[in-house]
């Protein structure tokens, strides 16, 4: 997927920082926190910039913000076709593959307001 197209489609300016952060989240199988992102881009941008960029991307529905049980916001792809797995021990959130075609067909003509399928349990690292 060309990340730049997502910005073009939404009519949002694709700045260097926005592209860097979006590309990272899209390629990550797990949802990331502000703290994680700050560590990853520590040489490129300060914490406030990372925070503002994540917030901006969530407000513009490019990323999705999910609060874990400790109240920490995690960011992931804003997808309407993925369910997610949440580990109740380490609070990590992993995107599951796209929902099956049958589901998509049934949902196609519905006006979906909120798509949220979360499977909870213990991840392989915590077991
Ligand atoms: Zn875990």
Residues 93 and 73 in one domain: no
Cα of 10 from ligand 1 centre, angstroms: 35
Same domain, 68 and 91: no
Alpha carbon of 18 to ligand 1 centroid (Å)? 28
73 and 88 together in one domain: no
CA of 88 to the centre of ligand 1 (A): 7
Q: Are both 41 and 17 inside the same structural domain? A: yes
Structural domain contains residue 127:
no
Which string of b and e fits 11-22 if b means at least 16 CB within 10 Å?
eeeeeebbebbb
Ligand 1 centroid to residue 87 C-alpha, Å: 5
Question: What spacing in Å lies between the alpha carbon of 5 and ligand 1's midpoint?
Answer: 34
Q: Is residue 73 part of a domain?
A: yes
User: The whole model's pTM is what?
Assistant: 0.76
Whole-number pLDDT of residue 81: 73
For tokens 């925070």, the residue is 51
Full domain range(s) for residue 90: 82-121
**Structure confidence at residue 122 (pLDDT):** 96
Q: In terms of domains, do 73 and 114 share one?
A: no
Q: How many structural domains does the chain have?
A: 2
Kindly give the distance from the C-alpha atom of residue 86 to the centroid of ligand 1, in angstroms, as a whole number.
8
Q: For position 36, what pLDDT does the model report?
A: 94
Clarify whether residues 20 and 7 are in a common domain. yes
Q: How many CB atoms lie within 10 A of CB 3?
A: 17
Distance in Å, CA 70 to ligand 1 centroid: 14
Digits of tens for pLDDT over the chain (127 positions)?
688 988 998 899 999 999 999 999 988 888 999 999 999 999 999 999 999 999 999 999 899 888 887 888 999 888 777 788 999 999 888 888 888 889 889 988 888 777 778 899 999 999 9
Q: Is residue 126 part of a domain?
A: no
């Amino acid at each position: 997927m060309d990340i730049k197209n997502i910005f073009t489609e939404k009519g949002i300016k694709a700045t260097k920082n926005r592209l860097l952060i979006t590309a990272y989240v899209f390629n990550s199988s797990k949802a990331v926190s502000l703290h994680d992102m700050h560590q990853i881009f520590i040489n490129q941008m300060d914490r406030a910039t990372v925070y503002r960029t994540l917030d901006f991307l969530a407000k513009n529905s490019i990323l999705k913000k999910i609060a874990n049980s400790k109240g920490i916001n995690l960011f992931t792809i804003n997808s309407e076709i993925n369910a997610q797995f949440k580990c109740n021990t380490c609070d990590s959130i992993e995107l599951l593959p796209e929902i099956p075609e049958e589901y998509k067909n049934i949902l196609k003509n519905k006006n979906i307001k909120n798509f949220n399928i979360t499977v909870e349990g213990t991840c392989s690292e915590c077991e």
